Structure 1
Amino acid sequence: MTSLMKVGELAKQTKLSIRTLHYYDEIGLLSPSHRNEIGHRLYSDQDIIRLQQIMSLRQLGFSLKEVHECLESPDFSLPNVINLHRARLQEQVTLSHALLDRLNAIATDLETTQSVAVENLIEVMEAITMSEQYFTPEQQAVLEERFRQEETDWTDLLSKAQTEMSKGTDLNSHAVRSLAKQWLWSMKSLIGGDAKIYESMMRMYQQAGPEAASWGTMDSATFDYILKAVSFLFLAEHTNLRIDTAKIFTPETEQVIRLGKDAIRQIKFGVFGTEGMLLGLLAEGTSPAAKVLTAAGGSFETARQSILQILSDTASSEGNHVDSQAPQQPAEQGMSEPTELPFAPRAKLVIELALEQAQQFGQSHIAPEHLLLAILQEGGGVATHVLRERFGLDLAHLEQQLRSVMSR
């Protein structure tokens, strides 16, 4: 039996760093059997044999987690290791064949057209090859299919982001906020709720950068710009910033908002979303927007009952239609009602869209008609759910009727 070996001596003989050996100890992969009186690690013959096994498995391409599973398994044997390595090599062969097919397709394109940017193709191929280091063949196939379906929208998003970035557009502007929302939805669509794909994508981004993580379509500057836009969007939507309604609303619209907030307080809900806007429009009753809603079959009481039912159904859990991202519990009997209702994130977006509508009509203030147009344009809130599902209205036809009235 040889004498116990200190960590520095073992590192020197194996060409591993002391830091690596310490890390193996921390994760329970290789813990020394002994320590001296001052706590220094001392490795026995059996420890060194285990380290040799670890190094061999690592050379075969096994991850540290797989190495640990192999060594801790009672069925661990050389044939098992060989079969595992064969399976891994087969995966690599499959990936190589897929890459060869792509190269063959590109070669054919280059033979038939001279307009292809070869440098761009090489960058894309490098990104694809790198992505295959992080994703399984099944994940790769899923991502490629999703990316193919969203490619036009993704290209449009990048083009708009680069345009706004070159113009120096304010990150808090509606144009950049819209880009941030579009990017978030694109990423959600790409990941599809798959935690494994998300983890692989984040690992790829952290280790290889945004160029690889976006399959060669996005440079670092554009990626940083979009991330900043998303950060500003998050802050805007999750802080109760007061909206100076006197500067952007007509007196009629201020009345709509007041009546809507009164209605929301009566049903004891703690946030003002598009459902409050709809109730306010119907309660006000005299504006062209209100008359169009009434003529189409909308009524305040029916809308109120429908909204109360939706909010009651979703108050204890995150619903599909509630405008706030974290629905507020209805106030209990006897509790004081809030003096000021915060605008829900979707309501803030509708106000931004309404201001755009007003400007398109050459006006500087939001009228009730602009507010209703924005609700219909946004299309995802409680208000449009009530109009479509509870009143059975065709939203596109309703918008046409409203624009017809506004053009008179």
Structure 2
Amino acid sequence: MILDLYYQTGQFAKKASVTIRTLRYYDQIGLLSPSHHTKTGHRLYTDHDLFRLEQILALKYLGFPLSEIKTVLDEGPQDIKQALALQKRMVKEKLQQMRLLLSTIEHAEHLLSDGQLRWKSIIQLIQAVQMSNQHGDLDWRKYYSEEAAKKVEERQKTYTAEEAARDQLRWEKVIATFKQAYAQQLPFDHPTVKEAAQEWQQLIYEFTQGDPAIFSGLKKTYEEGVFSLPYSEDEGNYINRALEYHQQTKDGRG
């Protein structure tokens, strides 16, 4: 009679498509305990237990950790609604990260040269993407004033993964142009150097929006070696002199 009302552990596991080991673990942590035990200590599960297990598996699929699943199921529908809202936001953030990763991979494909990967450039690309997408490993705020850091954070809220990858590719191109110009020792008034300088200054302006405090913070991050620069010291000196030359020309001092 009791087998008509209860599932033995093996039957229950098979019906729910989980392992017996999983059921035992869920019992151990108090997530899903059988409704009944036989006199010999064997677990017996009901249809109500099956429904709870289905809820557990559904929430687990949505990405909830087991500790949160227990709280959600024990505390009721309102908490489930709130938990799902939180999980929805987390999923959206994860999707944005995955879109950024996809853009990174696509842009890395553009860095192929004669069938060989330019690893240094790709590493720089990945580093920049990580820097734009994480807040824990590096406290970049310490290089900015409090007001400037708030402005940067506000701007980051609307700065999409696609825009980050697009701008990193722009940096890749302008740096590659400068490196080639240095190798050829092009004069600063050469059209190629002028165009590269204008693009560099445009990228800086788009980040700082002309705010001196943000520019000052950005300058500190480079001066203190926060970023690994994708060019040599000599190339960097050439770039700085070219930028200074075109700034003076722009200001009418050249």
Note whether the superposition's TM-score is higher than 0.5: no
TM range (shorter): 0.3 to 0.5
Query: Of the two structures, which has the highest relative contact order with CA contacts closer than 8 Å and spacing of 6 or more?
Result: 2
**Which protein has the larger Cα radius of gyration, Structure 1 or Structure 2?**
1
